[in-house]
């Protein structure tokens, strides 16, 4: 059994993928081919934002979002510790300080109440209130931006996050690496704040055959900045460099693959809803595991179907049973970022983000992809409930 089945998907569109790749071989524009602009146009229409900018990875898209927001040394960027490392790694790479904010226990997304308290604590300079990094006096940090993550495919609470950001003069970046295709009310993920990024890493809901990503914004000025940052800080022409940038381009081959995959993406998104609903129903009958909670008005892209065991021993027992029966499972994420060695310099302590730490001890994810059938799902749940 596969955790994410990319083979069934490929069988469905193999011919289109081959035709699209052959077209790149024929025209020879391996960087900046016509596939890039076509993909940008299709995805910006789908998301419902004015601008989409194809780039090299989700991490580079995040980095460019932060750069376009002017994040740099001395800035504080508020984010969740319960995410993939790139969310906070890119903040630190720019010389800014990641300031962690604990998550909601049911959605696993950043908690708006904690967010506001942490901004207030930063502005007041501590010491009472939520935990702050200890490597700088809080007064030395300027709150600049918020990076909210749509964990496992469900959008964060942008209604409240955007309002809090506005009242404190902060920018909001949507890390939609896991949520492309998700909706919150009338709006799609990647269009829920001023600027957003997603990833097309092969295992994401819309995945390429290599690294690729995309930035989204309605704001013309931010788009111009992103465009320039992607090409080494380009100005009027190729050899006019007006700011420090990166090489953030997407390969034409990736856009060729993504165009073929995007044609069936809306259908796959529907199939993911069915798979998730079947897991929900099967798990409701057992009551031993906490199933995912999706907020009213939200549709998840179901990058992962994650459940909570009673404690870490219970989780270990369940994962062993699954493994014994050749059923893959995974832990996202075993260690929250404030406890990672890479962020030890912030001098946070264990116990300071109790919800994230508790989830890290208990959470695990079951196989999730559009081609998971009812029989297989029943076997997975039966194995969880069985004795071996």
Ligand X SMILES: *Cc1c(COP(=O)(O)O)cnc(C)c1O
177 touches 295 (CB < 8 A): no
The b-or-e profile of 319-333 (16+ CB within 10 A means b, else e) is bebbeeeebebbebb
Q: Judged by CB under 6 A, which of 40, 111, 157, 175 binds ligand X?
A: 175
213 contacts ligand X (rule: CB under 6 A): yes
DSSP for 361-376, please give it. HHEEEE---TT--HHH
Using Cβ positions, the residue closest to ligand X within the complex turns out to be 58
65 contacts ligand X (rule: CB under 6 A): no
Pick 58 or 336: Cβ nearer ligand X: 58
- Which of 88, 81, 86 lies closest to 102 in space, CA to CA? 81
55 contacts ligand X (rule: CB under 6 A): no
199 contacts ligand X (rule: CB under 6 A): yes
β partners of residue 173: 147, 195
306 contacts ligand X (rule: CB under 6 A): no
Q: How would you classify the pairing of strands 363-366 and 305-308?
A: antiparallel
146 touches 122 (CB < 8 A): no
83 contacts ligand X (rule: CB under 6 A): yes
79 contacts ligand X (rule: CB under 6 A): no
Which positions from 137 through 166 interact with ligand X, judged by CB under 6 A?
A: 149
108 contacts ligand X (rule: CB under 6 A): no
189 touches 179 (CB < 8 A): yes
Segment contacting ligand X by CB under 6 A, of 36-44, 78-86, 187-195, 272-280: 78-86
Pick 78 or 121: Cβ nearer ligand X: 78
Which positions from 222 through 281 interact with ligand X, judged by CB under 6 A?
A: none
For residue 271, give the DSSP letter.
H
Task: Report the nearest approach of ligand X to the CB of residue 383 (Å).
Answer: 27
Helix (H, G, I), strand (E, B) or coil at 215: strand
For residue 210, give the DSSP letter.
S
223: number of Cβ within 10 Å: 20
Segment contacting ligand X by CB under 6 A, of 173-181, 216-224, 239-247, 368-376: 173-181
Question: How big is the site for ligand X, counted in residues (CB under 6 A)?
Answer: 16
Using CA atoms, how far apart are residues 385 and 387, in angstroms rounded to an integer?
A: 7
Q: Judged by CB under 6 A, which of 36, 49, 55, 58 binds ligand X?
A: 58
Which residues here bind ligand X, judged by CB under 6 A? 57-59, 62, 83-84, 86-87, 149, 175, 177-178, 199, 201, 211, 213
């Amino acid at each position: 059994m596969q955790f994410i089945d990319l083979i069934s998907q490929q069988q469905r569109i193999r011919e289109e993928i081959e035709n699209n790749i052959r077209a790149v071989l024929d025209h020879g524009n391996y960087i900046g081919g016509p596939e890039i602009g076509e993909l940008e146009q299709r995805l910006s229409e789908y998301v419902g934002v004015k601008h989409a900018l194809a780039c090299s990875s989700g991490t580079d898209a995040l980095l460019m979002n932060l750069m376009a927001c002017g994040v740099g040394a001395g800035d504080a960027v508020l984010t969740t510790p319960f995410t993939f490392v790139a969310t906070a790694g890119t903040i630190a790479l720019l010389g800014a300080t990641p300031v962690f904010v604990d998550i909601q226990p049911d959605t696993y997304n950043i908690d708006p109440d904690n967010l506001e308290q942490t901004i207030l604590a930063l502005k007041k300079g501590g010491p009472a209130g939520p935990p702050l990094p200890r490597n700088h006096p809080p007064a030395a940090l300027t709150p600049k931006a918020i990076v909210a993550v749509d964990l496992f495919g469900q959008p964060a609470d942008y209604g409240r996050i955007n309002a809090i950001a506005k009242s404190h003069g902060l920018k909001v970046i949507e890390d939609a690496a896991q949520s492309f295709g998700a909706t919150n009310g009338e709006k799609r993920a990647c269009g829920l704040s001023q600027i957003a990024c997603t990833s097309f890493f092969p295992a994401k809901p819309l995945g390429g055959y290599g690294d690729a990503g995309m930035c989204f914004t309605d704001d013309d000025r931010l788009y111009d900045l992103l465009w320039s940052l992607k090409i080494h800080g380009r100005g009027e022409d190729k050899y006019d460099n007006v700011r420090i940038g990166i090489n953030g381009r997407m390969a034409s081959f990736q856009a060729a693959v993504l165009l073929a995959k995007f044609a069936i993406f809306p259908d796959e998104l529907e199939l993911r809803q069915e798979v998730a609903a079947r897991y929900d129903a099967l798990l409701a009958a057992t009551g031993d595991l906490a199933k995912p909670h999706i907020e009213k008005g939200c549709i998840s892209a179901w990058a992962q179907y994650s459940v909570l065991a009673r404690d870490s021993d219970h989780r270990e027992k369940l994962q062993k049973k699954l493994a014994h029966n050749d059923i893959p499972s995974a832990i996202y994420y075993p260690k929250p970022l404030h406890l990672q060695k890479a962020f030890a310099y912030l001098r946070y302590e264990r116990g300071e983000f109790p919800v994230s730490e508790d989830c890290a001890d208990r959470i695990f994810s079951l196989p999730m992809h559009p081609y998971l059938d009812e029989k297989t799902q029943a076997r997975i749940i039966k194995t969880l409930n069985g004795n071996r």
